[in-house]
């Protein structure tokens, strides 16, 4: 497949057309942003690590029956994916309180939640990705009832699969964000990325943060944390 014009440039990735309208090429960048773009920086090799970690986890999920947009890793930073219409929702899954949940509800970071929490945000940078519930999603037609049911089911199953897989690598999956898309054929598939940019990963023994919180909170050792995730997942 041949790479054609750039379709889109986001905060962490660029998307290119190919000579086949059913496929796109995603190219991961080293640039990092936080707090809705207010904080900016570079994380050396982040693009390569997020591309490889995402693809590794997408292959694992696909093997377990979750449909994804992943097709083929083309290079350390570039991946061929199915072209989808992104459903304008950030689907957040939480196992342990952290980040905005801790802040909003006054729950100390690290508190184990009695049940998994599923949250949605409407993807809109100008509005700061406001949280929405099922009623908003249906009223605003961000997704249909059937699509929402499918998305919630996949998100909870993905949480089980990833939590189990990561536990064996001594990584605790605190929370994460997913995005879904719809293919030309109308199938809902997992899209976007699953990486230290979009998940909170803590070392299960030391509880050390191995994710973008090191960048958000200026904790230092950002590059090393990303590298450590790559090493534990892909053995290098
Ligand atoms: N997250 C993300 N993109 C966003 C917002 C959140 O990838 O725009 C991820 C974040 O990395 C964390 C989870 O979703 O793993 C929950 O994030 P939270 O709502 O606590 O927001 P934050 O504290 O990141 O602002």
Distance of CA 126 from the midpoint of ligand 1 (Å): 17
Do residues 200 and 139 both lie within one domain? yes
Long-range contacts of 3-12 (CB under 8 A, 24+ apart): 11/37, 12/46, 12/47, 12/50, 12/193, 12/197
- The distance from CA 23 to its chain's CA centroid, rounded to whole angstroms, is 20
Q: Does residue 227 surpass a pLDDT of 90?
A: yes
pLDDT band at 79 (very low <50, low <70, confident <90, very high): very high
Question: What's residue 236's pLDDT?
Answer: 80
Q: Is the distance from the beta carbon of residue 198 to the nearest atom of ligand 1 less than 6 Å?
A: yes
Question: What's residue 1's pLDDT?
Answer: 87
Q: Is the distance from the beta carbon of residue 217 to the nearest atom of ligand 1 less than 6 Å?
A: no
What CATH number does residue 69 fall under?
3.30.200.20
Q: Give which of 189, 199, 197 is closest to 165, Cα–Cα.
A: 199
Q: Is the distance from the beta carbon of residue 176 to the nearest atom of ligand 1 less than 6 Å?
A: yes
Q: Is the distance from the beta carbon of residue 101 to the nearest atom of ligand 1 less than 6 Å?
A: yes
Do residues 210 and 107 both lie within one domain? yes
Question: What's residue 85's pLDDT?
Answer: 98
Residue numbers of the domain that contains 65? 3-82
Residue 235 lies in a domain: no
Q: Is the distance from the beta carbon of residue 102 to the nearest atom of ligand 1 less than 6 Å?
A: no
Question: What's residue 30's pLDDT?
Answer: 98
Domain final residue, candidates 82, 105, 139: 82
Residue 75 lies in a domain: yes
Test site for ligand 1: of 33, 36, 97, 99, most ligand atoms within 8 A of the Cβ: 99
Residue 52 lies in a domain: yes
Test site for ligand 1: of 54, 96, 163, 175, most ligand atoms within 8 A of the Cβ: 175
Q: Is the distance from the beta carbon of residue 199 to the nearest atom of ligand 1 less than 6 Å?
A: yes
Average pLDDT, whole number, for the chain? 98
Residue with tokens 């191995």: 210
Do residues 181 and 204 both lie within one domain? yes
Nearest CA owner, ligand 1 atom 17? 99
What CATH number does residue 188 fall under?
3.30.470.20
Do residues 44 and 148 both lie within one domain? no
Residue 113 lies in a domain: yes
Q: What percent of the chain has pLDDT over 70?
A: 100
Do residues 98 and 195 both lie within one domain? yes
- φ, ψ for residue 144 (rounded to 5)? -85, 170
Domain final residue, candidates 66, 82, 98: 82
SS3 43: coil
Residue 231 lies in a domain: no
Which atom of ligand 1 approaches the CA of 100 most closely? 20
Distance of CA 80 from the midpoint of ligand 1 (Å): 25
SS3 226: helix
Q: Is the distance from the beta carbon of residue 177 to the nearest atom of ligand 1 less than 6 Å?
A: yes
Q: Is the distance from the beta carbon of residue 120 to the nearest atom of ligand 1 less than 6 Å?
A: no
Do residues 92 and 209 both lie within one domain? yes
Question: What's residue 65's pLDDT?
Answer: 98
Do residues 78 and 89 both lie within one domain? no
For 171-225, the pLDDT digits (tens) are 999 999 999 999 999 999 999 999 999 999 999 999 999 999 999 999 999 999 9
Domain final residue, candidates 82, 98, 117: 82
Number of domains making up the chain: 2
């Amino acid at each position: 497949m041949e790479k054609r014009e750039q379709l889109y440039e986001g905060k962490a990735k660029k998307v290119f057309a190919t000579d086949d309208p059913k496929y796109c090429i995603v190219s991961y960048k080293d640039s990092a942003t936080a707090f809705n773009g207010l904080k900016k920086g570079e994380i050396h090799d982040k693009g390569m690590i997020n591309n490889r970690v995402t693809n590794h986890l997408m292959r694992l999920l696909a093997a377990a029956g979750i449909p994804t947009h992943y097709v083929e890793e083309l290079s350390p930073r570039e991946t061929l994916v199915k072209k989808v219409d992104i459903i304008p929702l950030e689907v957040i899954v939480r196992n342990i309180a952290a980040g905005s949940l801790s802040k909003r509800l006054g729950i100390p970071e690290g508190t184990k939640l009695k049940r998994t929490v599923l949250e949605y945000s409407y993807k809109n940078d100008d509005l700061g990705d406001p949280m929405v519930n099922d009623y908003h999603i249906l009223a605003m037609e961000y997704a249909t009832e059937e699509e929402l049911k499918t998305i919630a089911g996949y998100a909870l199953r993905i949480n089980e699969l990833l939590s189990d897989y990561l536990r064996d690598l001594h990584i605790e999956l605190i929370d994460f964000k997913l995005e879904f898309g719809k293919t030309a054929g109308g199938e809902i598939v997992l899209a976007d990325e699953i990486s230290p940019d979009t998940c909170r990963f803590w070392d299960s023994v030391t509880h050390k943060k191995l994710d973008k919180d090191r960048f958000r909170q200026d904790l230092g050792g950002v590059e090393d944390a990303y590298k450590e995730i790559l090493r534990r997942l892909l053995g290098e």
